[in-house]
Amino acid sequence: MPGFALEPEQQEWCAELRALAAERLHPLAEKGEPGRVNRPLIAALGELGLLERLFTSGALDLCLMRESLAYACTEAETALALQGLGTYPIVQSGTAGQRERWLPEVMAGRAVAAFALSEPGAGSDAAALTLHADPAPGGGANGGWRLSGEKCWISNAPEADFYTVFARTTEGAGARGVTAFLVPADRPGLTGAPLDMLSPHPIGALTFDAVPVTRADVLGEPDRGFRVAMNTLNLFRPSVGAFAVGMARAALDATLTHTAGRTAFGGPLKALQSVAHRVAEMATRTEAARLLVYAAACAYDGGAPDVAQRSAMAKLLATETAQYVVDAAVQLHGARALQRGHLLEHLYREVRAPRIYEGATEVQRTIIAKELYA
């Protein structure tokens, strides 16, 4: 893909996705209840084959899907992404039994997944997590563990059907003492509560009261769960950037239409140099973010050694760019953009969270600097 120009078939696929999102998925999203899992929307993603493609394609395809869906229906994009984030640890590290049990259900849109990493005192500093796994009678590797503690700000909680949970199995070992577990939602001792957040999808807290897990529930190897988490985030961080690019492009296109048609001071807004220059800046930043996202995705697909750095750069630039572009679009539209139901009012609420989740902007800068000085 020289210069990261999409091939004609990729451009056609993206156009099809935008149309599907607008015509098929957006009506389902509008019928959903804020703060609740929209299962009809997830089922539609399964029927359209998008959930299957999510797990059978590479990072670039994931980015193209997220960008295209975000352009026309952010709720569909988020539903797709959360299914991927919660399930990808099973794809990369699950046993045959775990894959057979859950992957067909997720791909069909019948099972809802969640990625349970963050805690009240351990968000971006994931190595500091304190949810602990105490050996059950008989020994950890043989007799299993009991999970005790809390998870917080977990997307799709408490309504998910299963959780990818990261717990401390070895005290004092930092990142090397964390194990990833696949925990079905019906395990005894697992409860949850919704959090009232600025988000259209559910976000909740989970409480683990001696929740039983066994060796059959481990994803990967005991004490090697941090690698499972980071491998997942390295894949999904560029695609968070793609989500942001999709929102930025939607805001930019709305602004082009508005400034070309709205008259002020005797002519169209676009004739005002201050407006034209602002729109040019919006377009330039959006294109730069798009190229960096695609480059990071191609690096991941190609097995490049600097994937962590590229992923962090892509998420950093794209999410900060989307915040700038959407804010500028609101300013150029004026009061109408703040009306409930306006595209930009919706994007203004949606664009803020990606600068925080899956590693805040400040964390991405720390990762980049660490990689540069390595």
Give pLDDT, residue 2: 46
pLDDT level of residue 374 (50, 70, 90 thresholds) = confident
Q: Is the pLDDT of residue 341 over 70?
A: yes
Amino acid in position 74: T
Q: Is the pLDDT of residue 73 over 80?
A: yes
| Alpha carbons 367 and 310: distance in angstroms, whole number | 10
Full-model pTM: 0.94
What one-character-per-residue DSSP string does 6-69 give?
Answer: PPHHHHHHHHHHHHHIIIIIHHHHHHSPTTS--HHHHHHHHHTTHHHHHHHS-HHHHHHHHHHH
| CATH no. for 227-372 | 1.20.140.10
Q: Is the pLDDT of residue 15 over 70?
A: yes
- CATH homologous superfamily of domain 113-223? Butyryl-CoA Dehydrogenase, subunit A, domain 2 (2.40.110.10)
- pLDDT per position as a tens digit, 29-38: 999 998 899 9
- pLDDT, the chain, mean: 93
Active site residues: 358
Q: Is the pLDDT of residue 14 over 90?
A: yes
Pairing of strands 162-168, 178-184: antiparallel
Q: Determine which helix (DSSP H) or strand (DSSP E) holds 205, and give its type and residue range.
A: strand 203-213
| Alpha carbons 333 and 347: distance in angstroms, whole number | 13
Give pLDDT, residue 201: 86
Q: Is the pLDDT of residue 3 over 70?
A: no
Instruction: Report the percent of the chain where pLDDT is more than 90.
Output: 85
Q: Is the pLDDT of residue 142 over 70?
A: no
Question: Could you say which architecture CATH assigns to the domain 2-107?
Answer: Orthogonal Bundle (1.10)
- pLDDT per position as a tens digit, 103-129: 999 999 999 999 999 999 876 666 688
- pLDDT per position as a tens digit, 172-227: 887 889 999 999 999 999 999 999 998 878 999 999 999 999 999 999 999 999 99
Q: Determine which helix (DSSP H) or strand (DSSP E) holds 323, and give its type and residue range.
A: helix 307-333
What value does the mean pLDDT take over residues 275-279?
98
Rg (CA), the chain: 21
- Domains of the chain: which residue ranges? 2-107, 113-223, 227-372
Amino acid in position 76: A
Give pLDDT, residue 224: 94
- pLDDT per position as a tens digit, 295-323: 999 999 999 999 999 999 999 999 999 99
Give pLDDT, residue 141: 52
What one-character-per-residue DSSP string does 151-194 give?
Answer: EEEEETTTT-SEEEEEEESSTT-GGGGEEEEEEETTSTTEEEEE
| Alpha carbons 278 and 282: distance in angstroms, whole number | 6
